Structure 1
Amino acid sequence: MSVVWYECKVKYRKTDETGGQKVLTEPYLVDALSYTEAEKRINEEMAAYISEEFKITNIKVANYAEIHPFENADRWFKSKVSLIAYDEESGKERKTSMYMLVQANDVREAYDNTIHVMKNTMGEYSIPAISESPIMDVFPYFSGEEGETEMLERFNTLKASKPEKPEAEIIDHMEFETAAEE
């Protein structure tokens, strides 16, 4: 059975650094079997994070084929992957596109992570587009059966890890002579 992801928009009031209140509407992803279950799950998940009241303003089916969290990343990127197949009857190439949600810190890292995910793919593919997604968090479904608890812990550990702070910048003191112009 394939996984169906639902994008749920949640509206809530947030207190900023200055103590002011701001109303935010943020999208989240949940893995569910139906709209009803998606609503129930997003209510449960958000209740753990938001102490005040919140409102679910929209639920729709998201078009992600796969979700891939990565360590030390804090944003989600939507990668469009075009699978290339050769149609022997017509003699033409056919492209089928799918979207992946990949965790990364920037577009370059999202591209590298997409390549990493696709490395065992037998067929040809291209990555025509990668863009930052507004998705704030992803909540996969795990039934709690044996073995799935470890999968849930690994997923949550990966997605919750924060980017490492770069060490002090290394200054290169090497000097190069420029070639004399002729």
Structure 2
Amino acid sequence: MSVTWYECKVKYRKTHETGEQKITTDTYLLDAVSYTEAEARITEEMKAYTSEDFRIMNIKVANFSEVHPFENSDRWFKSKVSLVAMDEESGKEKKTNMYLLVQANNVKEAFENSTLAMADTMGDYSIPAITESPILDVFPYFTGEEEQLEKFNVLETAEPAEQEN
């Protein structure tokens, strides 16, 4: 099942490290099935971020094929990946672009993380561009079933305990 990612721009009063409060507009990414759900989800997420009033300034569909968080990374980068395939009819190389959102600390690390994300790709590809994204945080949708499924899989694969006679 493919995921639709939405970029949400939210304007709110933010307290900076200096203690100064400023009105700022930040961009967040979340997955949803519709604009309406995206609006409801960003509203819930922002309630946890700020007790102040906030305004959702814009919601748009993001063109990310995949999102890859990495531990110990604090910024998000947009990686343009060109998949290379041979056109059977013309015999020429055909490039198809897709975009990954990868978490990293710098561009070099973003390139390495993009390469890791593409490790299972069978075809040829190149990474012609990586840019830092304005996205501050990503909120993937979790139903809670993932945790239960994980527990179920652990129970399924666990060895039965030997019974004492």
Give the TM-score, by structure 2 length: 0.87
Give, in angstroms, the shift of residue 18 of structure 1.
3.8
Alpha-carbon distance between aligned partners in 2 of 1:146 and 1:130, rounded to the nearest angstrom? 31
Shift of 1:88: 1.2
Judging changes above 3 Å, is the alpha-carbon distance between structure 1 residues 149 and 102 closer, same or farther for their aligned structure 2 residues? Answer: farther
Q: What are the Cα deviations for residues 137-180 of structure 1, in whole angstroms up to 9, with x where unaligned?
A: 00001122254686xxxxxxxxxxxxxxxxxxxxxxxxxxxxxx
Which runs of no fewer than 5 residues in structure 1 stay unpaired? 151-182
CA distance in 2, matches of 1:76, 1:105: 8
Partner of 2:103: 103
Identity over aligned residues, as a percent? Answer: 72
Secondary structure, aligned partner of 1:46: helix
Kindly report which structure 2 residues correspond to 1:6-85, keeping only aligned pairs within 5 A, or say none. Answer: 6-85=6-85
In 2, Cα distance between equivalents of 1:24 and 1:136: 12
- The number of residues matched between the two structures is 150
For residues 53 and 112 of structure 2, the distance between their equivalents in structure 1, rounded to whole angstroms, comes to 39
Q: CA deviation at 1:38?
A: 0.0
Whether the 8 Å contact between 1:81 and 1:98 is mirrored in structure 2 is yes
Q: Which residues in structure 2 correspond to 1:132-171 (within 5 Å)? A: 132-147=132-147
Is there any run of 5+ residues in structure 2 with no aligned partner, and where? 151-165
Structure 2 equivalent of residue 120 of structure 1: 120
Divergent runs of 4+, >6 A: none
Q: Which amino acid aligns with 2:71?
A: E
Which residue does the alignment assign to 1:94?
94
- RMSD over aligned Cα atoms: 1.4
Which deviations, in whole Å up to 9, do the C-alpha atoms of 1:7-42 show, x marking residues without a partner?
Answer: 000000112344432110010001000000000000
Q: Secondary structure at the match of 1:136?
A: strand
CA 1:148–1:95 in 2, change beyond 3 Å: closer, same or farther? farther
Q: Deviations over 1:50-88 (max 9, x none)?
A: 111111000000000000000110000000000000011
Q: TM-score, normalising length from structure 1?
A: 0.79
**Cα distance in 2, alignment partners of residues 125 and 148 from structure 1:** 36
